[in-house]
Structure 1
Amino acid sequence: MSDPRPVETWLTDMDGVLVHEEEPIPGAAEFVEALKASGKRFLVLTNNSIFTPRDLRARLLGSGIDVPEDCIWTSALATADFLHAQRPQGTAYVVGEAGLTTAMHEVGYVMTDRQPDYVVLGETRTYSFEAITRAIRLIEAGARFIATNPDPSGPSTQGTLPATGSVAALISTATGRQPYYVGKPNPLMMRSALNRLEAHSETTVMVGDRMDTDIVSGLEAGLRTILVQTGSTRPEHVERFPYRATRVVDSIADLVDLAREAAPEA
């Protein structure tokens, strides 16, 4: 980085930066090991709310990438953190899987479909008409509408799957109520990650593969940003955006040497 400010903390997206589905991206394992050896604090971020950090650690380990459980920050954790700050010990009707329900329980929330404070929508591979209908009726009755992230679709080995944003649009159309999205591109997710690390935006870098989520949320949170060209945003599309990443590289392998630099003395 040409910027004279030191890089003390790293945030990095997961899908498209470290892995494609279950396949590791060349250089990803070396990048994570370099960060661990340097003593720098880091978090791997993902908008995926299906899995717990323990699940994601196991999945990454299966791809040869050893990320500690406490170095994984999901939109589910960010959502639970946000709701705990807004309304401690609240209640919620949750549409989602273990990653979201576990995070909500861990901050002291009670799951209920009886006059909940919130309807919280996350990602699941088994959206049910009954659960969506219940969510619609609870929102109509006054529950506040929260969604973990606005991603409209997600990948699978069989092809595109509808994700949280698509189902949120369905609920919004039925209720006339828009959700508050916690995950990227909301810079709130970056801020919550910084708070978790007790880090400062001035000395933190965000690595991502999407200009419209990773890079813009990092930019709005005051971070330096690095776009890797191994994921969603194609190289020929970069110049279409009205904002720029601090740096653009081919892949995470190009950042291993920078990650190896020792953390500054406290």
Structure 2
Amino acid sequence: MRERDVDCWLTDMDGVLVHENKALPGAAELIEQWRSQSKPFLVLTNNSIYTPRDLSARLGRSGLEVPEDSIWTSALATATFLRDQSPNGSAFVIGEAGITTAMHEAGFVMTDVAPDFVVLGETRTYSFEAITRAIRLINDGARFIATNPDVTSPSADGPLPATGAVAALITSATRREPYVIGKPNPMMFRSAMNRLGAHSERTGMIGDRMDTDVVAGIEAGLHTVLVLSGIADRAEVERYPFRPKEILDSVADLLDEPASGNSRKSNSKEAKNTRKSEQ
């Protein structure tokens, strides 16, 4: 599949559209291009702290107009998955507004008495009391779910322990591994495509990480685009046994008329060879 055959787009947020709350070159123009071409899209994030409304406001401050219904978080994916698993179920939830709001809207009752699930999300202030309660509930039979596997999250003062790190603590105490919904689980992408009514054969995924965005996109059967404006560089790509369909400097290279004069000629040799083999 060539990029022009993509009908729907999924895109990561940090490192792809924004960096340190500033829009990256070409991001605003790409979103406008999708709108003008009536191409459905969703902005994805593993962060389960914020609601789509919060994230829409954050993107707006960076100069990107993305409505809240065009944002898909690991919290939403988790709530959607659990609603399918256990309609009108119950859960003990560790996290902030992103996951608690999503769980409420999915019809779940929040309780610390014999819940169906223990759901671990991300929060800036993990409570030892809440973690202890989660361990006891899991030992008593509650199923263990984590919104994402990220072990740290950034802050102005340095990395903070995140969902994956706390999940490892709970696993060590319970000997129960969580089922993790967010990237790199392709479940995250499949639920996003269901939201759009999209098919994998006509959907593209743009990301800046090989170990989450690209591998999950490949496993979900999507057209994968790695941009070098975030985590990964060309040396990083060589560490992995798989390759994205395209490797681009930034999302500006996806514009019909690339911003700031960037050309597809700057694409990696791998991306060129891939497109040539598809013709």
- Taking structure 2 as the reference length, the TM-score comes to 0.90
Structure 1 residues 153-162 or 113-122, which shifts more?
153-162
Q: Which runs of 5+ in 2 are unaligned?
A: 259-279
Instruction: Indicate how the Cα distance of structure 1 residues 41 and 258 shifts in structure 2: closer, same or farther if over 3 A, else same.
Output: farther
Q: Does 1:83 align with 2:82?
A: yes
Q: Give the letter aligned to residue 81 of structure 2.
A: F
Match of residue 12 from structure 2: 13
Maintained 8 Å contact 1:94/1:111: yes
The aligned runs of 1:177-216 (5 Å cut-off) are 177-216=176-215
For residues 13 and 6 of structure 2, the distance between their equivalents in structure 1, rounded to whole angstroms, comes to 20
User: CA-to-partner distance for each residue in 1:217-242, whole Å, 9 max, x for gaps?
Assistant: 01000001000011112221101101
Maintained 8 Å contact 2:6/2:203: yes
Query: By how many angstroms is 1:4 displaced?
Result: 7.9
Match of residue 37 from structure 2: 38
SS at match of 1:240: coil
Q: Give the letter aligned to residue 253 of structure 2.
A: D
Maintained 8 Å contact 2:208/2:227: yes
SS at match of 1:142: coil
For residues 198 and 42 of structure 2, the distance between their equivalents in structure 1, rounded to whole angstroms, comes to 11
For residues 53 and 27 of structure 2, the distance between their equivalents in structure 1, rounded to whole angstroms, comes to 19
Query: By how many angstroms is 1:26 displaced?
Result: 1.5
SS at match of 1:131: helix
RMSD: 1.3
For residues 169 and 8 of structure 2, the distance between their equivalents in structure 1, rounded to whole angstroms, comes to 38
Query: By how many angstroms is 1:145 displaced?
Result: 0.1
Query: By how many angstroms is 1:32 displaced?
Result: 1.0
Match of residue 229 from structure 1: 228
The aligned runs of 1:77-116 (5 Å cut-off) are 77-116=76-115
Q: Give the letter aligned to residue 88 of structure 1.
A: P
Structure 1 residues 227-236 or 133-142, which shifts more?
227-236
SS at match of 1:257: coil
User: CA-to-partner distance for each residue in 1:49-83, whole Å, 9 max, x for gaps?
Assistant: 00000000000000000001100000000000000
Q: Give the letter aligned to residue 94 of structure 2.
A: V
Between 1 and 2, higher relative CO (CA 8 Å, sep ≥ 6) is seen in 1
Q: Does 1:248 align with 2:254?
A: no
For residues 19 and 109 of structure 2, the distance between their equivalents in structure 1, rounded to whole angstroms, comes to 35
The aligned runs of 1:41-52 (5 Å cut-off) are 41-52=40-51
Q: Which runs of 5+ in 1 are unaligned?
A: 260-266
Query: By how many angstroms is 1:21 displaced?
Result: 2.9
Q: Give the letter aligned to residue 128 of structure 1.
A: S
For residues 147 and 16 of structure 1, the distance between their equivalents in structure 2, rounded to whole angstroms, comes to 23
Aligned length: 258
SS at match of 1:92: strand
Query: By how many angstroms is 1:258 displaced?
Result: 8.1
Structure 1 residues 153-162 or 189-198, which shifts more?
153-162
- Taking structure 1 as the reference length, the TM-score comes to 0.94
For residues 158 and 217 of structure 2, the distance between their equivalents in structure 1, rounded to whole angstroms, comes to 29
The percentage of aligned residue pairs carrying the same residue is 67
For residues 4 and 158 of structure 1, the distance between their equivalents in structure 2, rounded to whole angstroms, comes to 40
Q: Give the letter aligned to residue 241 of structure 1.
A: Y
Structure 1 residues 198-207 or 225-234, which shifts more?
225-234
Q: Give the letter aligned to residue 32 of structure 1.
A: I
Q: Does 1:155 align with 2:144?
A: no
Query: By how many angstroms is 1:5 displaced?
Result: 7.0
For residues 162 and 133 of structure 1, the distance between their equivalents in structure 2, rounded to whole angstroms, comes to 17
Poorly superposed stretches of 4+, deviation over 6 Å: none
Maintained 8 Å contact 2:116/2:143: yes
